[in-house]
Amino acid sequence: MKRSFADLTAAPDLHEHGEGTGPKRSRRPVYEDLLPPCNNACPAGENIQAWLSLAQAGRHREAWETLVADNPMPAVHGRVCYHPCEDGCNRSYVDNPVSIHAVERFLGDEAIRQGWKIPVPSVFSGKRVLVVGGGPSGLSAAYHLTRLGHRVEIYEAGPIAGGMMHFGIPAYRLPRHILEAEIRRIEEMGVVIRLHHKVEDILKEKQAGGFDAVFVAVGAHIGRKTDIPARDAGQILDAVRFLRDVELGNPPQIGRRVAIYGGGNTAMDAARTAKRLGVGEALIIYRRDREHMPAHDFEAEEALSEGVKIHWLRSIKEITGTSVTVEIIRLENGRPVPTGELETLEADALILALGQDTDTAFLQHVPGIKFGDDGTVEVGPDMMTGHKGIFAGGDMVPSERTVTVAVGHGKKGRPVYRRLFARRQV
Ligand SMILES: Cc1cc2nc3c(=O)[nH]c(=O)nc-3n(C[C@H](O)[C@H](O)[C@H](O)COP(=O)(O)OP(=O)(O)OC[C@H]3O[C@@H](n4cnc5c(N)ncnc54)[C@H](O)[C@@H]3O)c2cc1C
Ligand code: SF4
């Protein structure tokens, strides 16, 4: 096979592949117009093969334009998205998946470097939309609505837009100048962001601002608690508050030894951040084993390589002063079973990283809106709540409903779905 210098990876030996493409087929393929597995897995619904082929041809600007037709923040996603697109890549049957997120990051960075802008329709649709919450879901909704010709204002409770991209994901994984550049580009399209504006009464705000519709994306910021008997315990913090305080430049006093309770990516971020604050020991305590932890394996790997310790198969029973009593757990069919065997370890502070809940109390009085047991807001396939004209998305709606929104119709009249931002496992 002739190799082109522009190939993204080395040409594979097609005689050696396991399954999928190549000459060793035993069945005749039937072609159907379906989503490729990478696109299907992408939470932002990107047309990956389209922008990859443009990038491969060196047409970087067009590749970026195709990419941002779906996802306004490629430099952010190219860094922090867990790239499920690559798990779905057909090329993995041949050698390795295409490094999609690395190309995405390159295009995102190139756009920032070159100052590429998003074209905005010159004709105003006549509709005004209020977006509540300036996290990735709200920003993405504002971006797509603006591209459709609507006027959008974001009301954001915090001092800066970005939501958990700013106050959750640590700066060592997502440099702030990159995040700010991609948010600025959305503002330059005409999206107005009002900071320090917490929405308490959505119907009143909608009426006062003369908005035709509202998209609510307030995320999930309430750190989950657990009942641990604690006597004279030192600092007990929740991970989201801890990361937020560090980001705001007010890191709490956590002493020399810190224990982090939980096995998700947030636990890894909290432990790695504690290490960067200079603690001598950051110890993650998690009740299942590595195979069953919700954190991505690479995040645990990076944490371990930075000196974070992980105590698998342990749950916290009690805290007295700086003594943390933990119980050893064994797994039965993946389920944790307490053994009654106890150990003691020392920690000056305990950070709880047990997941987050959403604060949707301010929507409780709105007629028609329905809630799940966990406080998430129920929405239909069009992301509208039970109240006409009020939509919701992002971490505040159940995961299976978060992502898809129909934006038009495909060749055969089937709806084409775009995704706003998926929930991740915590
Ligand atoms: C520590 C941590 C690390 C993470 N790392 C990753 C990662 O590497 N990759 C990844 O894909 N995902 C990651 N995530 C998950 C990701 O950040 C979230 O899924 C995403 O931010 C959710 O977006 P959202 O817009 O729904 O909510 P948020 O990002 O939470 O934004 C909601 C916004 O609404 C504002 N708000 C809340 N209430 C009101 C109100 N009443 N009025 C006005 N504004 C309000 C908030 O101030 C906030 O700015 C991480 C999350 C955490 C906590
Ligand atoms: S890295 Fe994430 S956002 Fe980017 S193409 Fe892959 S799944 Fe989609």
Q: Where in the chain is the domain with CATH 3.50.50.60?
A: 128-221+358-419, 222-356
Which CATH code, of 1.10.357.10, 1.10.1060.10, 3.10.20.30, 1.20.1250.20, is assigned to 37-114? 1.10.1060.10
Q: Is 46 in the pocket of ligand 2 (CB under 6 A)?
A: yes
Locate tokens 């290490």: which residue?
275
Q: Is 68 in the pocket of ligand 2 (CB under 6 A)?
A: no
Ligand 1 atom with minimal separation from the 162 CA: 49
Query: Are the CB atoms for 81 and 103 separated by under 8 Å?
Result: no
Q: Is 132 in the pocket of ligand 1 (CB under 6 A)?
A: yes
Query: Are the CB atoms for 63 and 52 separated by under 8 Å?
Result: yes
pLDDT in tens, 353-380: 999 999 999 999 999 999 998 899 999 9
CA-nearest residue for atom 52, ligand 1, is 168
CA 140–ligand 2 middle distance (angstroms): 14
- pLDDT, average across residues 200-219: 97
Ligand nearest to the CA of 163: 1
CA-nearest residue for atom 41, ligand 1, is 199
- pLDDT, average across residues 297-318: 94
Q: Spell 195-204 as b/e; 16+ CB within 10 A means b.
A: eeeebeebee
Long-range contacts of 34-38 (CB under 8 A, 24+ apart): 36/88, 36/90, 37/88, 37/89, 37/90, 38/85, 38/86, 38/88, 38/89, 38/90, 38/98, 38/100
- pLDDT, average across residues 46-60: 95
Taking 90 as the threshold, does the pLDDT of residue 389 lie above it? yes
Ligand nearest to the CA of 423: 1
Q: What CATH number labels 222-356?
A: 3.50.50.60
Taking 50 as the threshold, does the pLDDT of residue 343 lie above it? yes
Q: Which residue has the higher pLDDT, 421 or 9?
A: 9
Is residue 187 very low, low, confident or very high in pLDDT (cuts 50, 70, 90)? very high
CA 361–ligand 2 middle distance (angstroms): 32
Q: Is 168 in the pocket of ligand 1 (CB under 6 A)?
A: yes
Q: Is 217 in the pocket of ligand 2 (CB under 6 A)?
A: no
Least Cα distance to 262 among 286, 288, 233, 289 occurs for: 286
Instruction: Give the ranges where 91-175 is alpha helix by DSSP (H).
Output: 100-114, 136-147, 164-167
CA-nearest residue for atom 7, ligand 2, is 42
Q: What percent of the chain has pLDDT over 90?
A: 74
List of E strands, 113-226: 128-132, 151-155, 192-194, 213-216, 222-223
pLDDT in tens, 396-416: 998 754 444 334 444 444 434
State how far the alpha carbon of 49 is from the alpha carbons of 30, 40, 75, 346, in Å: 20, 11, 18, 52
CA 221-224-230 angle, to 5 degrees, is 135
CA 32–ligand 2 middle distance (angstroms): 24
- Check residue 13 and give its pLDDT: 66
Q: Where in the chain is the domain with CATH 1.10.1060.10?
A: 37-114
Q: Is 100 in the pocket of ligand 2 (CB under 6 A)?
A: yes
- pLDDT, average across residues 161-165: 97
- CATH architecture of the region 128-221+358-419: 3-Layer(bba) Sandwich (3.50)
The alpha carbon dihedral of 109, 114, 115, 117 has a sign of: negative
Taking 70 as the threshold, does the pLDDT of residue 3 lie above it? no
Q: Is 422 in the pocket of ligand 2 (CB under 6 A)?
A: no
The alpha carbon dihedral of 129, 133, 139, 144 has a sign of: negative
Q: Which residue has the higher pLDDT, 87 or 204?
A: 204
Three-class SS of residue 32? coil
CA 420 to chain centre: 10
pLDDT in tens, 14-23: 666 555 556 6
Kindly write down the DSSP assignment for every residue of 236-301, as one continuous string. EEEHHHHHHHHHTT-PPP--SEEEEE--SHHHHHHHHHHHHTT-SEEEEE-SS-GGG-SS-HHHHH
pLDDT in tens, 234-291: 789 999 999 999 999 999 999 999 999 999 999 999 999 999 999 999 999 999 999 9
- pLDDT, average across residues 318-346: 92
Q: Is 296 in the pocket of ligand 1 (CB under 6 A)?
A: no
Tell me the C-alpha distance between 30 and 33, whole Å: 10
